[in-house]
Amino acid sequence: MSNLFITRPTLPQGWLLQDKKTIVDFIERRHFTEVYKLSDGDYLYLFHDAELKSKVRSRQIEHEKIVTAGKEAIGKRFQSHSNEEFTLRINRILSKSGLDAVAGMDELKQIIIRDIIHPFQHREKYKEYKLGIPNGILLFGPPGCGKTYIARKIGEELNIPTIELRESDVGSPYIHATSGNIAKAFKEALRLAPSIIFIDEISGLLPKRETLSGSQQYRESEINEFLVQIESAGSRDILVIGATNFPDRMDSAAMRSGRMDKRIFIPPPDYNARIELFKMELEDRPISFDVLPEVLSNMSDGYVASDIKLTVDNAARTALSKNTEINMMILMKSLKETKPSLSKSELNEYLSYQNLERR
C-alpha cells in the first residue's frame, strides 16, 4: 500500500528538535494539525495544512521549520494545550473577514468588487463621472452555493450595517401590512445609512404578478411599494441585495433599469472553495492524516456544500461502523457513491438566465 495512507504520527517519540528538546508524546490530530508534548512541558503544534502554513509565514508568526521524510511542516510552540485553546489559536491564525473569508471563487469576487464594493466605497468619485451606486443587486444560483453567506461578507467588506430580512419577516396575512413593513425596513436603513438591506428568498416577496390568483391581487401593492422604495435606494446610500434560487419566478418589473438590474450568478463552489468545505466538514472528527482535501476537491467538481456534507457524513458512518478513523479510502468511496444534487441541465438553466438581456 502506498505510504499516502500511513496514519502514524509524523514525529516519533524521542525526535530531537533544534534546541535539543525532544518529543515525549503524541497528543492528538485536529484541523490537519498534530499536537505533541515536549520534554520541557511545552506543546508543539505541527501544521500540515497549506493555508495554515501560508498564514503563519505571511503574518510573520514565530515558528520553526521541521523537515521529515522529505516534507516540510511548520511548528509552533505553546506552553499549554486544551480544546478551547487549540480552537482559539487556529481561528486567530486563519482569521478572515469580508470577501477574504470567501474561499476561492476569485472571478466572482472580482465581479462583486467591481460592481458593488468600489462604487459604494468611492461614491464621490463615481459622482464625478455621473455614476451612482447601484440601487439593487440580485444574487441567484442553486441552493447550497453560499448566496446568504456572500451577502453577509459584502456587508463586512463595506463595514456598514446590514438589515437582514426574509419574506416571512416582512409578509403579513393582513392586507397592506406587508407594504407597511417594507416601508419601515427602508426607513430604518435610511437612519443607519450608508447601509444594506439584504432580502433572502426575495422571489417569495416579489412573485410574478401574472401568477397571483384573484384572492392575492392585494399583493400587487406590496410589489409596487418595494419598487418605489428601491428606485431611490442608491441616492439615499442604501444598497438592496436580494438572493434567490428561483430568479425566473420574480416579477420582471423588479429587474428593470434602476431597480435590481444587476444580476450576479453564484455558481457551485470552485476547487479552492471545495477544499475549505471538506476541511470544515472534517473538522473535529477523528480523521486519518492521509486525508487530502485537495484530492477530494479534484474529485468533486460540480458538488455543492450539501453534497460535500453528505459525503463526509456517510464516510463518518462507515468509519464508525468499523471503529476506525475517517481515512482517504473511506472518503473516496463515499464520494463516488454520492452523486451531485445539481444536474448539468439545471446548471445550464441558471447560466442561460445569467445571459438574458435586462428586460
Q: For the segment 249-289, what is each residue's pLDDT rounded down to a tens digit?
A: 888 888 888 888 888 999 999 999 999 899 989 988 898 88
Q: What are phi and psi of 25, to 5 degrees?
A: -155, 150
Give, in degrees to the nearest 5, the angle at Cα 191 between 187 and 196. 80
For the full predicted model, state whether its pTM sits above 0.75: no
Cα separation, 25 vs 21, whole angstroms:
12
Provide the β-strand partners of residue 11: none
pLDDT for the residue numbered 3: 35
Q: The C-alpha cell of 235 is what?
A: 441616492
217 HSE (CA, 13 A, CB side): 2
pLDDT for the residue numbered 359: 42
Domains of the chain: 3-95 (3.30.200.20), 99-268+347-354 (3.40.50.300), 271-337 (1.10.8.60)
**Contact at 8 Å (CB) between 286 and 318?**
no
In the chain, which residues have pLDDT < 50?
1-6, 173-175, 357-359
Cα separation, 73 vs 17, whole angstroms:
13
Q: The C-alpha cell of 149 is what?
A: 453567506
Cα separation, 71 vs 284, whole angstroms:
25
Q: The C-alpha cell of 64 is what?
A: 520553526
DSSP string, 43-106: EEEEE--HHHHHHHHHTT---EEEEETTEEEEEEEES---HHHHHHHHHHHH---GGGGS-S-H
pLDDT for the residue numbered 352: 79
User: β-strand 71-78 against 195-200: which pairing, if any?
Assistant: unpaired
**Contact at 8 Å (CB) between 123 and 133?**
yes
* Residue 256: CB atoms within 10 Å: 14
pLDDT for the residue numbered 240: 95
pLDDT for the residue numbered 212: 67
DSSP string, 229-297: HHHTTGGGTEEEEEEES-GGGB-GGGGSTTSS-EEEE-PSP-HHHHHHHHHHHHTTS-B-TT--HHHHH
Continuous segment of H or E residues that includes residue 180: helix 177-192
DSSP state of 216: G
